[in-house]
C-alpha cells in the first residue's frame, strides 16, 4: 500500500475522514461541561443538611470558643475531601474516625489546634462530583 500512488479518490477519502474527526473533537470540546454540582449548606444551631443525589448528608459542627474543633458528617458515601479555606490558604482536613457499618456512615474530621481556624473560614466538602460549601 505504501508503494501505491495517491489517487484523487484516496485523497478525498482521507480528507473526509480527517474532517469528521476534527469536527467530532471540536464538538466534544465545545459541549464539555464538568458534572460538578455546587450546593450551599447554611448552619442552623451548628447543624445543616443537604440532599446529594437524592440522599441526605447531615453536617454537625463542633466548636470551642471562636475556633472550629471538628465536624461530623453523616452520608451514604465517603467524602472525597474536606478543605478549610482561610485568608487565601487551604488546609486539607483528614478524617480521624469512620463508622461505615450502618446505612448512613459517620465520618468525623478534626481541626488541628495549631491551625488558625476561625468560624469565618469557608469549608468545602466534596462527595463524588458534588461540592458543598458550608457557610457559618
pLDDT tens per residue across span 48-106: 888 887 888 888 887 766 666 778 888 887 787 777 776 566 666 666 666 666 566 87
Are 28 and 73 in the same domain? no
Are 109 and 50 in the same domain? yes
Are 27 and 45 in the same domain? no
Gap between the Cα atoms of 68 and 66, Å rounded:
7
pLDDT, greater one: 130 or 68: 130
- In three-state secondary structure terms, 15 is helix
- In three-state secondary structure terms, 92 is strand
Are 96 and 128 in the same domain? yes
CB 122 within 8 A of CB 134: yes
Are 87 and 111 in the same domain? yes
Are 8 and 44 in the same domain? no
Highest mean pLDDT: which range of 7-11, 28-32, 65-69:
7-11
CB 90 within 8 A of CB 81: no
Cross-strand pairs, 102:
none
CB 59 within 8 A of CB 48: yes
Domain encompassing residue 126: 37-135
pLDDT, greater one: 135 or 72: 72
CB 124 within 8 A of CB 83: yes
Confidence of residue 14 (pLDDT cuts 50, 70, 90): very high
pTM of the model: 0.60
Question: Which of the 8 DSSP states describes residue 43?
Answer: -
Say how many domains are in the chain: 2
Strand arrangement, sheet containing 105-110: 47-52, 55-64, 67-75, 105-110, 95-99
Confidence of residue 123 (pLDDT cuts 50, 70, 90): confident
Are 111 and 46 in the same domain? yes
Confidence of residue 40 (pLDDT cuts 50, 70, 90): confident
pLDDT for residue 34 is more than 80: no
Amino acid at each position: 500500500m505504501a508503494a501505491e500512488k495517491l489517487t484523487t479518490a484516496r485523497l478525498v477519502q482521507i480528507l473526509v475522514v480527517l474532517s469528521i474527526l476534527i469536527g467530532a473533537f471540536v464538538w466534544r470540546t465545545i459541549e464539555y461541561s464538568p458534572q460538578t454540582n455546587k450546593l450551599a449548606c447554611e448552619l442552623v444551631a451548628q447543624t445543616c443538611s443537604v440532599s446529594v443525589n437524592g440522599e441526605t448528608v447531615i453536617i454537625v459542627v463542633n466548636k470551642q470558643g471562636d475556633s472550629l474543633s471538628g465536624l461530623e458528617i453523616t452520608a451514604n458515601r465517603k467524602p472525597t475531601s474536606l478543605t478549610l479555606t482561610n485568608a487565601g490558604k487551604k488546609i486539607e482536613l483528614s478524617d480521624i474516625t469512620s463508622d461505615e457499618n450502618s446505612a448512613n456512615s459517620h465520618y468525623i474530621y478534626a481541626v488541628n489546634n495549631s491551625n488558625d481556624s476561625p468560624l469565618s473560614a469557608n469549608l468545602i466538602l466534596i462527595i463524588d462530583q458534588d461540592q458543598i460549601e458550608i457557610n457559618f
